[in-house]
Chains A and B, each alone.
Chain A
Amino acid sequence: GAVVSQHPSRVICKSGTSVKIECRSLDFQATTMFWYRQFPKQSLMLMATSNEGSKATYEQGVEKDKFLINHASLTLSTLTVTSAHPEDSSFYICSARDLGGLTYEQYFGPGTRLTVT
C-alpha cells in the first residue's frame, strides 16, 4: 500500500512554455502533499506544502506565481511550472501524507525530470 505516482516521469519543453506535473496518491487519501526539487547530486529542497481545498504554502524564495500548485482532491495535486526557463530544469519529487497514518510518514513519488531547452 501507500503508493504515490507522478506523471510524467520525464518531460522536455521549450523555454517559455508551461509544464504541468501530476502527483497522485493511489491507495490512500492525502490532505497534505509536498513538492520538492532536487538538483544533481544535491539534497531535496522543499518548495511548497499543498493542502487540499486551500492555498499552498510556499517556502521562502520560491515564486508562487511561477510554480502554481493545485490540490483539488484528496488524491491529486498538480505543480505547473509557468514560463519555464533552463534554470528550472531539475528533478521534481512529490510526497503525500496518509490521512489515516499514525506516524506522519510521507510517501514519495518516483519523481519527474524536467528539462527546459
Chain B
Amino acid sequence: QQPVQSPQAVILREGEDAVINCSSSKALYSVHWYRQKHGEAPVFLMILLKGGEQKGHDKISASFNEKKQQSSLYLTASQLSYSGTYFCGTVDNYGGSQGNLIFGKGTKLSVKP
C-alpha cells in the first residue's frame, strides 16, 4: 500500500518552518526521503531505519516512529532552495534491508521570498 503524505502542498516564507508527514498502514523496516525540483530527478535526502532514530543534515531532519508507522520530515528556517516536491518511500518489514521502495504521492513545498 502506498504511504500517505500530508499535507499535499505547503507555501512558506523564507525562514519559516515546515513539517511533512508520511504514514503507512504496514509495519515498516525503513523510510526514505527524496526531494525533486521541477523538471529534475528525485534526489536522496536520508534513510531512517526502524528503531526510532532521528537523522538530519543542515536544517533538514527527520524522525521515524516505528510503532505508529509514521515518519516526519522537518525543515527549519526554510530557504528558497528548499522548494520542490518531497517524497517519502517506505520499505516494509518483509522487504528488509534491500526491499523495494513504495513512494507516496509527494508534498509540494514552495518557499517565497
Does B associate with A?
Answer: no
A interface residue numbers (CB < 8 A to B): none
B interface residue numbers (CB < 8 A to A): none
